[in-house]
Chain A
Amino acid sequence: MWRRSASFILDKEDNAAQPPPPPAKPDTLTLSLSSPPPPTATTIAATINPPSSFSSSMADTLQNPNPKISAYYQTRAAHHGVVSSDWLAQAQAVAEPHLPEGWARSGSAAEPGGGGGGGRPFSVTDEFNNWRQQPDLAEAVAAIRALAAVIRASEATTMMELEIELKKASDSLKNSDTTSISLTAGCDLFMRYVTRTSALEYEEFNSAKSRLIERAEKFGEISQKARRIIAMLSQDFIFDGCTILVHGFSRVVLEVLKTAVQNKKVFRVFCTEGRPDRSGLRLSNDLAKLDVSVKLLIDSAVAYTMDEVDMVLVGADGVVESGGIINLMGTYQIALVAHSMNKPVYVAAESYKFARLYPLDQKDMVPAERPIDFGVPIPAKVEVEKSARDYTPPQYLTLLFTDLGVLTPSVVSDELIQLYL
């Protein structure tokens, strides 16, 4: 899968060397954090860690893992939730003290073997949660980094031992948040990618270990690059004068649109509000900064506006084996409306979100719930549907933009079979 990555697109782009907009260089985390300009997403994302609400919600998710409440969606909400201007300003102000911490963390992770050496015992979940707080870092990449740290911190002396340790770590990581598909997928992929080599068995242990770390880093890098690749691939589908309906906040979608702006495309974006975390507001905010004409819709106005829309572009929390996607609540109905009006539905998703899941219907998933604030007290007898995500079957999707290329939904399964069998 990875060897077939369409990263050649980036290479070509690098060769072409467009000077004015240096393609937000897909690099390790430290770089993207330290370099301010790559326009908005990264900086904003880095800066909006609102101290109080954010850390408290994070703490919530970390400390009391209520199995009902999805840690994944809580984190998302914390990252991409409502953004108001004063809040932003506030966030900006507080961003400074946060940064060194991130530096320190990444620094410690970067130095070999130093992962969790100092005093307290190393824990993958802690490591993962640390990485997870980086708003621009995808869940899967965070997982991969955490696992790489496991390799570094490992005191195993044989390959087998290390592998078992890694397995344990990835299992505990997966169990820490069962609702996050990309976490599970990321762990699985990493295990596949790192351990699937026969050459390792014949090597001396230390060199094999460093080889593993190398692979882990490469994997992380590829995952980072994925977003750029997708943005490049999807440019062919965005034409001048088109109207794009987006749902919720997705970093890939933002990257796609940003690249389109850089390519001087003129288009209009309809953003849904994305209740309950209102992540659509956040996206519209970011897009407005890019001088894209944005219209904000409430979630229920999708069908009303659909005839003006030329295409629907959504991200995905997970791409499942049937070729369907699991995404923020509301994606399914948008896809249904788009399908009935013959509008194409495109999904932008990195390949590390491909998961070996096969939901048959909406209820056939691990429940991922989110508290929903209705603004008014809800009588105790009234039930509230709290699910944070839904499943969109493949027949309602047109194409998937992934770093493996532009795929039809049925190819997803082929890729997964080739990867896991």
Chain B
Amino acid sequence: MPPGRVPHGAIRPRVRQVGFVPRNAQPEPRARARPYPAEAGSPPLADSPASNSLSPVMIPPPRHLSDNLSTFRTPAVPVPEATRRHAGHSPVVGSYDPAESLLGTSSPAPSPPSSDRLIGDGEFSDESWLRRSNSAKLASSFPGGGFDKAVSTADLASNVSAKNTTEKGEGTALEVKNEAIPSSKPLKVKTTKSERRALQESQRAAKAAAKAEGNKSIAAASGRVTSVKAAKQPSQKKDVASAAPSVAASEKKGSDRAPEKDRKKDAPPPRMQFDDKSRVEKAKRRAVVNQTEARNRVELFRHLPQYEQGTQGPDLESKIFQLKPMHPAVYKVGLQFLAGDISGGNARCIAMLQAFQKAIKDYITPPEKNLNRDLTAKISSYVSFFTECRPLSISMGNAIRFIKNRIAKLPLSLSESEAKALLCSDIDRFINEKIIVADQVIVRHATTKIRDGDVLLTYGASCIVEMILLYAHEIGKQFRVVVIDSRPRLEGQSLLRRLIAKGLSCTYTHINAVSYIMHEVTGVFLGASSVFSNGTVYSRVGNASVAMVANAFRVPVIICCEAYKFHERVQLDSICFNELGDPDAILKVPGRMDVNYLDNLQNKENLQLLNLMYDATPSEYVSMIVTDYGMIPPTSVPVIVREYRREQLLM
């Protein structure tokens, strides 16, 4: 295990982390500086620091132990790097101390890339990812240049000479020689023939490199200095380019850098992956809510946040006076989310919007600030607070997007009070049009699909399904309801209670019996938390099984979902995006003292508890989606998303 790498769970290799070395960001320069001379003499060590940046999954770059071709390669790699490095630092010309020169030269170089990688993680498309893995490979090969030299004198000598030639051209030859020579000194083996040949080839390579440098390194060098300090994305990109072999690199660099930046801007911000230790640490430092993480997490779901329930409430309550920027309404709603007092997509969304509304009403633009920007930032801070309380639902995400869009589109000519009034009325309109009226429309549509004598099945408690059933009952349709429920939330019971109070005839059973009850059912009505572009329905865990059973029994499955919950994302499974509930909830059976087999097992290391909140129903199990735009097949969700977006922009 490389130094500085934090021991991690059982299965480490995660492809997304390939090539990113957040953990050894600090230790690396030290490790490099200290053992360098020693390393030079010990080939086996060549693996360790260089491969620090390599993920276990990645194929390590060829080390070229005896391959003469390496000579062609190595000089080209380190040279521009070296020159650039020095351009930024006080020239240590003439200094022969290897440690010093190395400290001066190499320490800044490896560290920025690694920290960059950390920042950049997840923000890139696959394409850039490919490039990055490439860059990682190359970047790792550049410190390795030294080891190569150490390994074979042929390489070594050629390196030196190559550097000499190129550096002369650049005018900073000396200390590069310094860098190279100490490592060369300890072993001087006489492999004359190969040496000579290597020399030739390296010279040829150097010439090419020098040519390449003429157009690239000078410009890059000055850029590099500043960017190293900033330690941000661009510097890494320069690493990519400069580390890439010879001419190809220079070509690529010029063309690629700018688009890369744009792409980064376009790409949506990455979702927090909670198995990424360092990011989690960072997030924690910022966090208001002090969540303790649950210990034993299921491997596949490590990227999702999971907290111990019930510990944060009091802590947060005590903090109320410390949290200056948080509006009390927002604070209250956040606490309610945390405690689970408000649940259900619509309810949460409305609560959040109303909290925002109150916050906007009380908002006063600070002096010297712009309402549009400051309010957006405010809203963002509220949103991150809500996220800490409980992960946002997709519907909430859409609503937030709407608000931010409205704020951004506010005409500058408006006075503050006008702008606030406008925003509040916009929020009201959103709640009214997209949720309340939409629900009414959905109810109208869906009741046309209820015929006399139907047996309708529903799962859990969806407020829209409840409205449909009650309305259909009100207008005198004769039907029976089967409510399917499941542990641990038993939401169906509350629905059942309300339905019975209204005089509907109901059957209640648990999901275990769904295949038994399904044969008498004529229609399945389900709610949804979101519907994705590919028609996948994302809803309370258990809906997918019900839909699957219904499909097997050829019972039509009708999903009722407001169009504002649609999302343009495509999701195939319920793993990559989900929410974890309290694991203890499935462990304990409340009120059953006799079923206590799992008592005190929460912290057993070989027990992993998984309490998923949502699942994804594939579109082939869905017969119809009822939205406020009418009844549509699941294949038409993208059309609605498209139209809806446009409308939202106009609204």
A413 with B635: CB separation less than 8 A: yes
CB-defined contacts of A420 to chain B, threshold 8 Å: 630
Specify which of B624, B629, B636, B643 is in contact with A410 (CB 8 Å cutoff): B636
Q: Mark B382-407, 1 if CB is under 8 A from A, else 0.
A: 00000000000000000000000000
A414 with B624: CB separation less than 8 A: no
A418 with B639: CB separation less than 8 A: yes
CB-defined contacts of B636 to chain A, threshold 8 Å: 410, 413-414, 417
For the complex, is B122 an interface residue (Cβ under 8 Å from A)? Answer: no
Specify which of B449, B523, B556, B629 is in contact with A417 (CB 8 Å cutoff): B629
CB-defined contacts of A360 to chain B, threshold 8 Å: 449, 523, 556, 558, 623-624
For the complex, is B631 an interface residue (Cβ under 8 Å from A)? Answer: yes
Once bound together, how far apart are the Cα atoms of A364 and B448, in whole Å?
Answer: 10
For the complex, is A421 an interface residue (Cβ under 8 Å from B)? Answer: yes
Nearest Cβ on chain A to B559's Cβ, whole angstroms: 12
Closest to B620 in A: A395
B624 with A417: CB separation less than 8 A: no
Closest to B638 in A: A414
A394 with B556: CB separation less than 8 A: no
B633 with A321: CB separation less than 8 A: yes
CB-defined contacts of A363 to chain B, threshold 8 Å: 451
For the complex, is B99 an interface residue (Cβ under 8 Å from A)? Answer: no
| A321, A363, A413 — most chain B CB neighbours (10 Å) | A413
Nearest Cβ on chain B to A226's Cβ, whole angstroms: 23
CB-defined contacts of B633 to chain A, threshold 8 Å: 321-323, 358, 394, 410, 413
Once bound together, how far apart are the Cα atoms of A360 and B631, in whole Å?
Answer: 11
B639 with A417: CB separation less than 8 A: yes
A322 with B624: CB separation less than 8 A: yes
Q: Mark B446-480, 1 if CB is under 8 A from A, else 0.
A: 00010100000000000000000000000000000
CB-defined contacts of A356 to chain B, threshold 8 Å: 630
B631 with A358: CB separation less than 8 A: yes
CB-defined contacts of B623 to chain A, threshold 8 Å: 322, 360
> Which chain B residues numbered 518 to 558 have a C-beta less than 8 Å away from chain A?
523, 556, 558
> Which chain B residues numbered 603 to 651 have a C-beta less than 8 Å away from chain A?
623-624, 629-633, 635-636, 639-640, 643
Closest to A413 in B: B636
For the complex, is A361 an interface residue (Cβ under 8 Å from B)? Answer: yes
> Which chain A residues numbered 26 to 41 have a C-beta less than 8 Å away from chain B?
none
Once bound together, how far apart are the Cα atoms of A363 and B631, in whole Å?
Answer: 17
Once bound together, how far apart are the Cα atoms of A418 and B640, in whole Å?
Answer: 9
CB-defined contacts of B632 to chain A, threshold 8 Å: 321, 358, 413, 417
Specify which of B556, B558, B630, B639 is in contact with A414 (CB 8 Å cutoff): B639
A417 with B558: CB separation less than 8 A: no
Closest to A414 in B: B639
B624 with A358: CB separation less than 8 A: yes
Once bound together, how far apart are the Cα atoms of A420 and B639, in whole Å?
Answer: 13
Nearest Cβ on chain B to A83's Cβ, whole angstroms: 39
B639 with A413: CB separation less than 8 A: yes
Is chain A's binding surface mostly helix, strand, loop or mixed?
A: loop
Once bound together, how far apart are the Cα atoms of A358 and B556, in whole Å?
Answer: 12
Q: Mark A309-329, 1 if CB is under 8 A from B, else 0.
A: 000000000000111000000
Is chain B's binding surface mostly helix, strand, loop or mixed?
A: mixed
A417 with B640: CB separation less than 8 A: yes
Q: A358-B624, A410-B636, A418-B639 are in contact. Are A364 and B629 (CB under 8 A)?
A: no
Interface size on B, residues (CB 8 A): 17
Q: Mark A393-421, 1 if CB is under 8 A from B, else 0.
A: 01000000000000000100110011011
Once bound together, how far apart are the Cα atoms of A418 and B624, in whole Å?
Answer: 18
CB-defined contacts of B451 to chain A, threshold 8 Å: 363-364
Nearest Cβ on chain A to B494's Cβ, whole angstroms: 28
Q: Mark A380-398, 1 if CB is under 8 A from B, else 0.
A: 0000000000000010000
Specify which of B556, B629, B630, B640 is in contact with A361 (CB 8 Å cutoff): B556
Specify which of A361, A364, A410, A418 is in contact with B635 (CB 8 Å cutoff): A410
Specify which of A358, A364, A413, A417 is in contact with B643 (CB 8 Å cutoff): A417
> Which chain A residues numbered 319 to 376 have a C-beta less than 8 Å away from chain B?
321-323, 356, 358, 360-361, 363-364
A321 with B556: CB separation less than 8 A: no
Once bound together, how far apart are the Cα atoms of A418 and B632, in whole Å?
Answer: 12
CB-defined contacts of A414 to chain B, threshold 8 Å: 636, 639
Once bound together, how far apart are the Cα atoms of A143 and B556, in whole Å?
Answer: 33
Nearest Cβ on chain A to B11's Cβ, whole angstroms: 39
Once bound together, how far apart are the Cα atoms of A343 and B441, in whole Å?
Answer: 40
Once bound together, how far apart are the Cα atoms of A360 and B556, in whole Å?
Answer: 6
CB-defined contacts of B635 to chain A, threshold 8 Å: 323, 410, 413
Q: Mark B422-463, 1 if CB is under 8 A from A, else 0.
A: 000000000000000000000000000101000000000000
Nearest Cβ on chain B to A181's Cβ, whole angstroms: 16
Specify which of A322, A323, A358, A421 is in contact with B629 (CB 8 Å cutoff): A421
Nearest Cβ on chain B to A236's Cβ, whole angstroms: 24
CB-defined contacts of A364 to chain B, threshold 8 Å: 449, 451
B631 with A321: CB separation less than 8 A: yes
Once bound together, how far apart are the Cα atoms of A107 and B556, in whole Å?
Answer: 50
Once bound together, how far apart are the Cα atoms of A321 and B623, in whole Å?
Answer: 12
| A360, A364, A394, A417 — most chain B CB neighbours (10 Å) | A360
Once bound together, how far apart are the Cα atoms of A363 and B450, in whole Å?
Answer: 12
Q: Mark B328-364, 1 if CB is under 8 A from A, else 0.
A: 0000000000000000000000000000000000000
Closest to A360 in B: B556
CB-defined contacts of A321 to chain B, threshold 8 Å: 630-633
Nearest Cβ on chain A to B645's Cβ, whole angstroms: 13
Q: Mark A38-62, 1 if CB is under 8 A from B, else 0.
A: 0000000000000000000000000
Once bound together, how far apart are the Cα atoms of A417 and B629, in whole Å?
Answer: 8
Q: A321-B632, A321-B633, A358-B631 are in contact. Are A421 and B643 (CB under 8 A)?
A: yes
Once bound together, how far apart are the Cα atoms of A413 and B558, in whole Å?
Answer: 16
CB-defined contacts of B630 to chain A, threshold 8 Å: 321, 356, 417, 420-421
Closest to B634 in A: A410
Once bound together, how far apart are the Cα atoms of A410 and B535, in whole Å?
Answer: 12
CB-defined contacts of B556 to chain A, threshold 8 Å: 360-361
Once bound together, how far apart are the Cα atoms of A322 and B115, in whole Å?
Answer: 51
> Which chain B residues numbered 500 to 529 have a C-beta less than 8 Å away from chain A?
523
Once bound together, how far apart are the Cα atoms of A140 and B636, in whole Å?
Answer: 26
Once bound together, how far apart are the Cα atoms of A364 and B303, in whole Å?
Answer: 45
Closest to A357 in B: B631
Closest to A415 in B: B639
CB-defined contacts of A413 to chain B, threshold 8 Å: 632-633, 635-636, 639
Once bound together, how far apart are the Cα atoms of A321 and B627, in whole Å?
Answer: 14
Closest to B522 in A: A361
Once bound together, how far apart are the Cα atoms of A420 and B523, in whole Å?
Answer: 27
Closest to A323 in B: B633
Closest to A358 in B: B631
| B556, B636, B643 — most chain A CB neighbours (10 Å) | B636
Once bound together, how far apart are the Cα atoms of A414 and B631, in whole Å?
Answer: 12
CB-defined contacts of A323 to chain B, threshold 8 Å: 633, 635
Nearest Cβ on chain B to A325's Cβ, whole angstroms: 14
Nearest Cβ on chain B to A173's Cβ, whole angstroms: 21
CB-defined contacts of B449 to chain A, threshold 8 Å: 360, 364
Nearest Cβ on chain B to A355's Cβ, whole angstroms: 12
Once bound together, how far apart are the Cα atoms of A165 and B134, in whole Å?
Answer: 71
Once bound together, how far apart are the Cα atoms of A363 and B453, in whole Å?
Answer: 13
Nearest Cβ on chain B to A190's Cβ, whole angstroms: 20
CB-defined contacts of B558 to chain A, threshold 8 Å: 360
CB-defined contacts of A417 to chain B, threshold 8 Å: 629-630, 632, 636, 639-640, 643
Pull 15 A–B residue pairs with CB atoms less than 8 Å apart, ordered by A.
Answer: A321-B630, A322-B633, A323-B633, A356-B630, A358-B631, A358-B633, A360-B556, A360-B623, A361-B556, A363-B451, A413-B633, A414-B636, A417-B630, A418-B643, A421-B630
B binding-site residues for A, Cβ under 8 Å: 449, 451, 523, 556, 558, 623-624, 629-633, 635-636, 639-640, 643
Which 3 residue pairs are nearest across A and B when measured between Cβ atoms? Answer: A410-B635, A413-B636, A360-B556
Contacts A364-B449, A413-B636, A418-B639 known; 15 new A-B pairs at CB < 8 A: A321-B633, A322-B624, A323-B633, A358-B624, A358-B631, A358-B633, A360-B558, A360-B623, A410-B633, A410-B635, A414-B639, A417-B640, A420-B630, A421-B630, A421-B643
